[in-house]
Chain A
């Protein structure tokens, strides 16, 4: 097929007859191959749709030219000689398909080629249209000519940015403001409609925060239950246990549960809590012993110690009448 393609490509450039003769043998080979191929019904329909237009056009061209109803490859060669945009391979394939089909070969071939031609025209139109659109876009843009002074300023601005990364950002702000003013403003000109406007996100975020419905919670629980796969290995099992609280976190922190924010002096100097007691007597003696014991206790928090002392205070308050009898 490559040989035939090469021959076909050279056909429109060079002479006619000589090439026809030379290219016939590979063409014939190809045609034989394609003719032997079995064509399915669906494929046939598609081909007909694709190549009918091409065929029609080729028929028209043939009528315009000299020999049309004659041999097919000669017609193809003539078409290619006339410099039509049809791909010679496609034409060849269309002819071979037409020959393989049971219906009127010439008609089918003409239809197929007409279809091909239409297809090519549309693709060309699209390409040209694309080019035109790009031209529209580029026409808006103009090459900005920088004066060497400005260029130097910009480079120095960048350098200063690198130097002042750790320090202040003041210089960058100043240097960027100047080039922006010198450029054209951004909102002037025709809209190109390349980008779509981004949706407003913060509103949505506010909505979600304010309404955590029960259904959302239930759904979340369901999702968590489904996604919680059983652990694949020992490491994942340990991770799960740590999350549940069965396993401690390593390195072991001795003060995990305790959140004592009090300083040491609050633990030791507890005499300020003894103001409610009488200053002399056995009770005072007893309470001083209690305080001595509490100050040496590292296991209780300050709150618990204060509660201890207050309990005793309450207790002795209740027993005051008894104590006065003594």
Chain B
């Protein structure tokens, strides 16, 4: 009886909470600019559908121009941070805005550091 109850409770607990990871977890962003970038990304994700549809009305040769002008005004009225153009691909570890390789999301300095310590899989010093 106790064993059955324990088993059921264990299954429930596992579903509710995944096993706690003992690894290091970063609880803060590197700096405020990174935080703002994160906020912009979230906003852009939320408003992406609306922006797409309003843009579909705007970039049109079939619909009347008045409608398109109204659509222009509407899209301009959306919050600034919802546009994807404001997102900057910063380095994930150092928040460096420039010199970031897209594939690894790391700045060139960090990338070099890890590659030299053989912590980047499949990355080798070029020599030819």
A residues engaging B (CB < 8 A)? 204-205, 207-209, 211-212, 216-217, 219-221, 223-225, 228, 230, 240, 243-245, 282-283, 285-286, 289-290, 308, 311-312, 315, 319, 322-323, 325-326
Contacts and interface: CB of A to CB of B under 8 A. Distances in A.
Given A289-B62, A323-B67, A209 B8 contact: yes
Main secondary structure of the interface of B (DSSP, over half): helix
B62 A286 contact: yes
Contact of A322 (B49, B56, B57, B67): B67
Contacts of A228: 19
A188 B17 CA distance: 57
A220 B19 contact: no
Main secondary structure of the interface of A (DSSP, over half): helix
Interface in B64-111: 64, 66-67, 70
Size range of the chain B interface in the assembly: 20 to 34
Contacts of A311: 49, 53
A204 B3 CA distance: 11
A217 B70 contact: no
Interface of B: 1-2, 4-6, 8-10, 12-14, 17-22, 49, 53, 56-57, 60, 62-64, 66-67, 70
Given A221-B17, A285-B62, A322-B66, A208 B5 contact: yes
B1 to A, nearest CB: 4
Given A282-B63, A323-B67, A217 B9 contact: yes
Given A230-B22, A285-B62, A207 B13 contact: no
B56 to A, nearest CB: 7
B53 A220 contact: no
A225 B14 CA distance: 10
A231 to B, nearest CB: 11
A37 B63 CA distance: 119
Contacts of B12: 212, 217, 220
Contacts of B63: 282-283, 286
Contacts of B13: 217, 220-221, 224
A282 B6 contact: no
Contact of A240 (B14, B19, B67): B19
A115 B71 CA distance: 113
A96 B100 CA distance: 97
Contacts of A216: 5-6, 9
